[in-house]
Amino acid sequence: MKLVSTPRTEFLRTIAAEILHNYGRGRTIIAIDGTDARGRADFADDLAAVFREDERHIFRASLRNFQHSRAEQQRLAPELSDTPERLYRIGYDYSALRRVLVEPFRMGGSTGFVTEEFDPDRDAWIQPTWQTAPADAILIIDGDYINRPELHGLWLYSVLLEGGADSGSATDSAARYLAEVHPRDIVSAVVDTTNQQVPRRVLTDRC
């Protein structure tokens, strides 16, 4: 089903076309980075909708559903209170992300994968829903700190969104992430979303 053409939709179509040109066959994982959590999720959802225009098999996930429980975070870092700093340092269960989502998705075939494992709002595990995908499929995942060294090599294509609203109290840890990891230098595309309805590609020295 074709979407209504808007500047945002047309921009997302150019991103989708670039990805399909380079990774049109097999299993592709795309990461959406940025400090604006709502804007990041909306961008990922809208990009998924553009891919579905061509009846591509699309799956969505978010790093926020692969966090450690509060009790586990406290066990791992008792010296830190319940702060964005703790979330940045030990908040995410990257082992589970690899084990139940990334690795089985990349294996292809009939191997099952799970797109969410934990609900941080309820601080509770989610009953797993195992899914399978055809040989050609795309997974779009968004999240905080998604291009840190433990994760960057998992993505075939990554987008860094700039110019949106910061995630409130997480600003300090986001600034630390940007300073330590320099995602702008390693992502596939940098996008200015100061105007959410008219995003634009930012050319960097790497480009």
Domain ranges of the chain: 7-200
Predicted pLDDT of residue 169? 45
pLDDT at 171 over 80: no
How many CA atoms are closer than 13 Å to the CA of 12, on its beta-carbon side? Answer: 25
How many CA atoms are closer than 13 Å to the CA of 18, on its beta-carbon side? Answer: 15
pLDDT per residue as tens digits for the range 36-45: 999 999 999 9
In the predicted model, what is the mean pLDDT of the chain? 93
Predicted pLDDT of residue 170? 56
Contact 159, 45 (CB under 8 A): no
List % helix, strand, coil for the chain (3-state, nearest 5): 40, 20, 40
Token pair recorded at residue 191: 């996008």
pLDDT per residue as tens digits for the range 52-96: 998 999 999 999 999 999 999 999 998 888 778 888 999 999 999
CATH number given to 7-200:
3.40.50.300
Residue-wise DSSP of 139-158:
EEEE-TTTTSHHHHTT-SEE
Predicted pLDDT of residue 168? 46
State mean pLDDT over 190-205. 92
Predicted pLDDT of residue 122? 97
Spatial CA neighbour of 55 closest among 130, 113, 138: 138
Spatial CA neighbour of 87 closest among 24, 177, 202: 177
Residue 206 phi, psi dihedral angles, 5° rounding: -65, -35
Token pair recorded at residue 132: 């399978």
State mean pLDDT over 147-172. 84
Predicted pLDDT of residue 173? 86
CA–CA dist 193, 205 (Å, integer) = 19
Residue 88: Cβ-neighbour burial (10 angstroms; 0-12, 13-18, 19+): buried
CA–CA dist 62, 142 (Å, integer) = 5
pLDDT per residue as tens digits for the range 7-31: 999 999 999 999 999 998 999 999 9
Predicted pLDDT of residue 81? 80
